[in-house]
Structure formats: C-alpha cells, structure tokens
C-alpha cells in the first residue's frame, strides 16, 4: 500500500483546481500550473481535496499512485506559496551578482560565468556569497539550483565551491609529510 498515495491533497482557499481527463490544472495567487498524470491513476475532487487512486492492482499502477499524488501536491503548493532553494558560495574571491536577466558568477575561473535566468524563476543575491532561487515549479527551481551548483561543485579538501544551504560537505584530510 502507498502510504503517501492514500492521503488526499487539501486545496487551500484562493486556489482553484480543475480536472480534465488525466490533466490537473491548478490556479492560485502565484500563477497557474498543470500536471498530466499517467493512465494508471485516477484523480477526483472531493470536499475541497484532490484524491488520487490507482486504476488497478498492477505493480505500475501502485508505483504511480504515490508519485502522482506528490506531483499534484507540488503543483498545489507551488501556486499557493511557491518554492525556494538557497545556495551558498565558499571560497576566496567567489561571489555572485544579478545583472539584468543574467546571474554573474566569479568562481575562480579565468572568466566570469554568466547564467541566463530562465522564465518563471526569480534569482536574488542578498549577499555576494548567497543565491536564492524562487519559483512556482518545484522541478524547475531544483534544476536551476543544480545547474548553478554544477559550475563549481564543492570540493572535499577546503570546501570551496557552490553548495546547497543545508548540504554538509564531507571533508577529507590532506596529504601528510
């Protein structure tokens, strides 16, 4: 049994949800999103909650049950409160700044790294060593954060690079003489 799939997704006030076949369209104060669910699940609206159930007892239907419920929950959360990811930059001379529609990163290379900010994503730099990525689409926010982190992943000896705010870097001891 899917323990996640059993729970209904509450639809907060100010958020409208429409079901059209396998497509769930959600509109809220932050914007509108939609998700297309696989054919193995069926979604219904009951008492202000979205309920996801498997169509049959196949392994695939049971696997898609919890996944589909989480996708619907992410869409509802995105249009009501949005998602945010924080990155920290560690290293001497490493910094970030937003310039127009680009994020400019100084990461120890011989050149500045310019990252174009995708549509639907807001990037701010409260401090030169902190990047805040916000948006309504959880997958897009996470992908942008992963792309920025990929420019200079944290290394284990000094911990220099771009890391998630809650990430713990396993530090290694250097060579001994």
Tens-digit pLDDT profile for residues 150-164: 999 999 999 899 999
* CATH number for the domain whose boundaries are 3-80: 3.90.930.12
| Nearest CA-CA partner of 78 in 8, 2, 11, 19 | 11
Give pLDDT, residue 2.
63
Tell me how crowded residue 139 is: count the other CB atoms within 10 A of its CB. 12
Q: Which fold has domain 83-164?
A: Outer Surface Protein A; domain 3 (3.90.930)
How far is it, in rounded angstroms, from Cα 78 to Cα 32?
9
Give pLDDT, residue 34.
92
Intervals of CATH 3.90.930.12 along the chain: 3-80, 83-164
Q: Give the confidence band of 5 by pLDDT, cuts at 50, 70, 90.
A: confident
Q: Is the pLDDT of residue 16 over 70?
A: yes
Q: Which class for 134: exposed (0-12), middle (13-18), buried (19 or more C-beta within 10 A)?
A: middle
Q: Give the confidence band of 1 by pLDDT, cuts at 50, 70, 90.
A: low
Q: What's the pTM value of the predicted model, to 2 decimals?
A: 0.87
Q: Give the confidence band of 135 by pLDDT, cuts at 50, 70, 90.
A: very high
How far is it, in rounded angstroms, from Cα 76 to Cα 45?
13
Q: Is the pLDDT of residue 48 over 90?
A: no
């Amino acid at each position: 049994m899917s323990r996640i799939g059993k729970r209904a997704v509450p639809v907060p006030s100010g958020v409208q949800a429409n079901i059209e076949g396998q497509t769930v369209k959600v509109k809220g104060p932050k914007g509108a999103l939609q998700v297309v669910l696989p054919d193995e699940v069926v979604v219904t609206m009951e008492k202000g909650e979205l309920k996801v159930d498997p169509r049959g007892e196949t392994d695939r239907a049971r696997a898609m049950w919890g996944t589909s419920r989480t996708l619907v929950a992410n869409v509802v959360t995105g249009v009501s409160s949005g998602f945010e990811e924080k990155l920290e930059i560690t290293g001497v001379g490493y910094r970030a700044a937003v310039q127009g529609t680009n994020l400019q990163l100084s990461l120890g290379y011989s050149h500045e790294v310019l990252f174009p900010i995708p549509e639907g994503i807001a990037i701010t730099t409260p401090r030169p060593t902190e990047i805040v990525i916000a948006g309504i689409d959880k997958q897009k926010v996470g992908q942008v954060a992963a792309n920025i982190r990929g420019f200079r992943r944290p290394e284990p000896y000094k911990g220099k690079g771009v890391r998630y705010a809650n990430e713990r870097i396993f530090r290694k001891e250097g060579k001994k003489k």
